Chains A and B, each alone.
Chain A
Amino acid sequence: MKFTITRQNLHNGLAAVSASIPSKTTLPVLSNILFEAREGMVWMSGTDLDVSVRVKVPADVKEEGSLTAPGKKLQEITRELPDQPVEVSTRGDQIELSSGHSNFKFNGLPAEEFPSLPQVQFDEGWRVGGADLQRLIHHTSFAVSTEESRPILNGVLWELRDGSMRMIATNGHRLARMGVATAPSNAPSADFIVPPAALQHVQRLFKGEEELMVARNGNHLGFGSEAVEVFSRLIEGTYPNYDQVIPRDNDKVATVPKKALESAVRRMAVVASDQTHRIRLKFETDRVHLNVLTPDLGEGHDEIDVGYAGEELEIGFNANYLLEVLRYMASDEVKVTFKAPERAATVEPVAEGDESIDYLCLIMPLRLLD
């Protein structure tokens, strides 16, 4: 294999792929990036066996071929090289980089040892707008569970329908759901449970304006554009019936200035218990009181003006859950709804102008004991 490539293209390709390389692995070949040079292009691939990334970069290919070579080291060297064309060549299992007077050789492993990436037929799948996908991922994936006791919640549920799609994520204590309208297609409906690591790569590697191809092959899902492909293992199982836990009868509604609430909660969080992060919100007419009392530490009180006309209600929350949800609300005001102190509360952005956003976060309260 022999090709000449601009330093920038080599660096971009390596940066895109090396993020998918596991930092610790028992299989040495997984620390490597697979290079495949053919038809005037170089393909680079990396995988941790769950998620794989493949990118295509232009190069002047003089001799086709393939080899795997240590990903992180190549990336570090490329970063330090002067900005001029790099000649990459292989001899046996060694890869050589030359640029000006700089010359480096690394020991690689034969391409055959690299795991084969999932075969996905993109022309038989779905087409989704990159910007829509990015929005869904951004607004929901923070809510996935990191606990291992319920693996199904370690993934984001992605519902693809004709004319719309949704993502839902939850750790069993709080939940985020976002939906967007899509152009009608004749593609069949589908539900996937996708590990957030794969979605992070999608967020990182695809540009918003692109249209992505999405296709499934058995237990794998592929995301593809002209030059980038991301493949992910899907989480198997049935996602819990999230729709059932979204309250429909929350009769108490508060309209809250987001920034003011966020700052007040952040202040309360300082005094809240390190274990529970418990804070207490008391809603009364046009006002919410925030209280925190942590034995052995101290207490805090704050209040902000809100729009609220319902019955007085006191409810406890984990301050971190509340802050997290508020962070993803893009509007100046949020709508918070309740039913009772031990029932789910919802937080939604308040639409500005005619733009309505299908975004809902749900937080389960902390029981107040006194």
Chain B
Amino acid sequence: MRPTCHPLKPLLTLLCGSLFVCAAQAELRPMADNELAEITGQALITLDGLTYGGFEYTRVNLGAEIDLLTNIDELRLGNYSRNQPNTASTQPADIRIDNFALGRVDNANSSNATVVPFQVRDPYLEFAFKVNGQGIREVAGIRLGFGRARGDLSGDIHSLTGNMQGLVTGSASTAREYYMQQNNLNGFTCTFNFDCLALSLAGNAEIYSEIQLVKNGTGDTTVNGQPINRATYIGVPNGSSFNTDNALLSGLLPSIAKNNGDCTASGLPACFPLLNYKSIFVGDRTQSDLSIGGAQGIFFSLQNQNVPWQDLASTNNQFVATQSGAFANFAKSGEGANTIYPFIVSLYEALNGAARVPTCIGDLSKGC
């Protein structure tokens, strides 16, 4: 390193010296030569550069394993006036979550209370740059992401912009029960209702559907070709349907359980308020090893235009398209049988709401 000036060196020396005074209360022992020889420089931070689609990126990676339980009263990103055709609600911010929490507490209101932390691996901070029409290089976006993440994420989600891909899975009989309850049907009258009969025929077959952020009332994920922002609902997108692996039903179910633009599928609600999802599990609940069960590609970003961010969960060089404003990416990773969804909820949870897991010890389950 070439020489430079250190104007505050006396002050720093004083401070550093003072810190060592404190440490001196514990005994210091010299290291032997062989111990010293084993020490090498630790690459805690690396920087990566890449270019794509006219953008330049610089990513600062921090090598770390982090376990935490945190409660946050309010998270609000992109809080500005917005009224575009693809703005799906009157919410004031692109991302607005109250009582946000990472991690959970088991047996929360007892002396056996146990913290189950949220796990994060290798967080990073990334900048996107672009040369504008006048030839000036500008900051186009910034994102905070995680190499892998696993655990319970809770909150009162008032609005969300970005990708939130989950899987709803359950039994057709569950759907039938709910349908009968909502439509005041019984076992006999059910047979005269086409949707109810179809669900009856499906029996206990497992049905599932990918769900995304959607516009309430229609299930639209885009308006005029532009992705929606400030979503307050999640559900089966317009034109998509519940599916099944059951051979007898696989042909029938998409036709009867399709959202045709009215946020229903087989007469069941297909769009659900985000506020109903008070807790979701990020990553694979069944794989405690973060290397396997941790969800990849999760990030929060802010950008002034449609910035494609590298998808770190992708094995084939994909980029995640984002739009101007704040953006949260809880997208699925992998394909087919190896797909890991950021969260999986049972059909019951989707229909009735996913209760919040406790995130505080004691009486309060949130807001501590």
Tell me whether A and B are bound partners.
Answer: no
A-side residues, CB < 8 A to B, are none
